[in-house]
Amino acid sequence: MNLFAEEDMSRPTEKAIGGNGVCLAEEPPEFRRFISGSAPIMLDDIDWDAVADHPISQDVLRILTYMQDVESHTVVFPTTIFSQRAVNDDIVGTFLVCWLYEEGMHGRALAKFLESAGHPVPERTRKRTTFMDHIDRTTTTIMAAVWKDFLALHMAWGAVHECTTIHAYRRLASMTDHPELGVLLRRIIYDEARHFSFYMWQAESRLARPGVARIARAIMDKLYTPVGTAHQPDELARWVSRCLFDGEEGRAAARRVDRTIAKLPGFSDAALLGNWLAAKVYN
């Protein structure tokens, strides 16, 4: 399935610029581009009644259910990883409002697809907020309070996660010929590419000072785990990671994630995803 080429990931369509009156003339074009293009995922033309007519493998269903939960988990982030520094920053704070809405709609779109396919999302038996969320809340609060450049870390972290998400969805799309799922995944990937573009833009400038980049890199080398995995059962997270990022194509996708993040200041020799996979999945 031919989805977005790599170069499309970092260059959301120019036609989004200027189409929305909520942007101010003096705001940076990267910010205006994101805000102007921010909208809930478009689902009007998806033929939900036809979803059940096409076969979906058990593996794809299981991965979709996992991703639906990861997307939906963003609802807790205002109480965990949204620091005071983030919400007080006019650019980042505004971005996060839109980003949260879009991610939440991805979760709902996947839930609707699964329900239409006859495999509704199982009722949650545990609380949405996990033990790791408490850890995230504590570490975010402390680090953001003592480190004025904390947003460099937040933005770099976001860039890695969005880049990983893009490749994860692309790998999932390659595992199915389901026409409606193909459309849905392509639209989600487009949103993830817009998110990635924003985080990368912010991270590049905030990591420009070597001292800041060194601290951010050291923290990520120590604490990084791939998007979603810390809040999911360990075995399930490893199984999904193996499905998406093992084998010839999967490993190539993981290397592309690390190569992309290597463009950030201070990350030229980083292999965050590759190292995690080597330790948890490839062994």
* Minimum separation from the CB atom of position 70 to Fe ion (A): 8
Residue 171 vs 195, nearer CB to Fe ion: 195
Per rule CB under 5 A, is residue 106 in the interface with Fe ion?
A: yes
* Minimum separation from the CB atom of position 71 to Fe ion (A): 5
Per rule CB under 5 A, is residue 194 in the interface with Fe ion?
A: no
What number of chain residues touch Fe ion (CB under 5 A)? 6
Residue 71 vs 258, nearer CB to Fe ion: 71
DSSP the chain: -----HHHHT---GGGTT--TTS-TTS-HHHHHHHHH--PPP-TT--GGGGGGS---HHHHHHHHHHHHHHHGGGGGGGTT--HHHHTSHHHHHHHHHHHHHHHHHHHHHHHHHHHTT-PPPPP-S-SS-HHHHHHHHHHHHHHHH-TTHHHHHHHHHHHHHHHHHHHHHHHHHT---HHHHHHHHHHHHHHHHHHHHHHHHHHHHT-SHHHHHHHHHHHHHH---TTGGGS-HHHHHHHHHHHH-HHHHHHHHHHHHHHHTTSTT-TT--HHHHHHHHHT--
Per rule CB under 5 A, is residue 103 in the interface with Fe ion?
A: yes
Residue 203 vs 212, nearer CB to Fe ion: 203
Residue 69 vs 133, nearer CB to Fe ion: 69
Pick one of 136, 180, 192, 258: the residue that binds Fe ion (CB under 5 A): 192
Per rule CB under 5 A, is residue 154 in the interface with Fe ion?
A: no
Residue 180 vs 192, nearer CB to Fe ion: 192
d(CA 106, CA 124): 18
* Minimum separation from the CB atom of position 221 to Fe ion (A): 23
Per rule CB under 5 A, is residue 133 in the interface with Fe ion?
A: no
Per rule CB under 5 A, is residue 231 in the interface with Fe ion?
A: no
Which residues in the 54-73 window bind Fe ion by CB under 5 A?
71
* Minimum separation from the CB atom of position 242 to Fe ion (A): 21
Per rule CB under 5 A, is residue 195 in the interface with Fe ion?
A: yes
Contact set with Fe ion (CB under 5 A): 71, 103, 106, 162, 192, 195
